[in-house]
Amino acid sequence: MSEQYVWLVTGSNRGIGLELVKQLVSSPSNFVIAACRNPSKASELQRLVDSAEGTLRLVALDVSDMESISKAAQEVSGIVGDKGVDYLVNNAGVNPGGRDTAFSMDVNILEEVFVTNVVGPAYIAQAFSGLVEKSAKKTIVNVSSTLGSMGADYGTQCTSYSLTKAALNMLTYKEAKEKPEITAISMCPGWLQTDMGGEGATHPVSVGVAGIVKTVLSLKPEDSGQFFNFKGEKVPW
């Protein structure tokens, strides 16, 4: 594992997370930890493990469960040792409120979506910070959305989800400010054809994910605290 960089991807059993794992394991430079709620039921990931020649490990991690996060951090520490985690990708996310609006949204859903999209990534960064800090690349990627950007001005739609991504963006900013040795960014993957993005999304998931990987690999320390899209462009806050 000495020549490799360690990636950890949450929510890796389908959608953007699964595609990230597929693209990352295709390069010998990467050692990938695919975290998902239930590895024993993640059949596509299990098939990838069989063909990945030791460069892919599956770890159970439910981002809405603090105990699960702590257990996963311990397990990952045992796998990677002193190499740490070079790229921590907080990808898992949900949008149970759909296209809800400020005056009609169900605030119970707002609470639920905050746990997965904000509290989870916040605690994961805390639980894995030691592993990130001992790595060579020391990078945290918070998978956000342009829907969480006020500058993008998307109007009334998807309010509960947008609130969580705006909060996640502030988390990125705070992480970058507090620990200058870490490169923390927010990343909008584009509107991609996944269960969440739907069939009508503008880009196949492979295109967005290739863009994410390219952008993350070209990050410099001075990019920390910024919001990028999958084309490597800066997104307004």
- Which residues bind to ligand NDP, rule: CB under 6 A? 10-11, 13-17, 36-37, 62-64, 91-94, 116, 143, 145, 188-189, 191-192, 194-197, 201
- For ligand NDP, give the closer residue by CB, 1 or 150: 150
Spatial distance between the Cα atoms of 46 and 39, rounded to a whole number of angstroms: 8
CB of 3 to ligand NDP, least distance (A): 29
Would you say 111 or 133 has its CB closer to ligand NDP?
Answer: 111
Question: Given the complex with ligand NDP, which of 83 and 210 has the nearer CB atom?
Answer: 210
9 close to 35: Cβ distance less than 8 angstroms? yes
Q: Write the CA distances from 204 to 26, 99, 132, 190, integer angstroms.
A: 18, 22, 30, 10
Burial profile 54-90: b = 16 or more Cβ within 10 angstroms, e = fewer: ebbbbbbbbbbbbebbebbbebbbebbeebbbbbbbb
Minimum CB distance to ligand NDP, residue 170 (Å): 16
Q: What is the dihedral of CA 144, 147, 152, 157, to 10 degrees?
A: 180
Tally of CA atoms within 13 A in the half-sphere of 180 that contains its CB: 1
Minimum Å gap between C-beta 193 and ligand NDP is: 7
Q: Is 21 or 131 the residue whose CB approaches ligand NDP more closely?
A: 21
Q: 110 vs 7, 97, 122, 195, 226, CA distance in Å?
A: 30, 8, 17, 20, 25
Question: 16 vs 171, which CB is nearer to ligand NDP?
Answer: 16
3-class SS of residue 77? helix
Least distance to ligand NDP, CB of residue 102, Å: 19
User: Cβ of residue 136: shortest distance to ligand NDP, in angstroms?
Assistant: 25
Residue 4 or 112 with smaller CB distance to ligand NDP: 112
Q: Rounded to the nearest whole angstrom, what is the least distance from the CB of residue 104 to ligand NDP in the complex?
A: 21
Contact 114, 131 (CB under 8 A): no
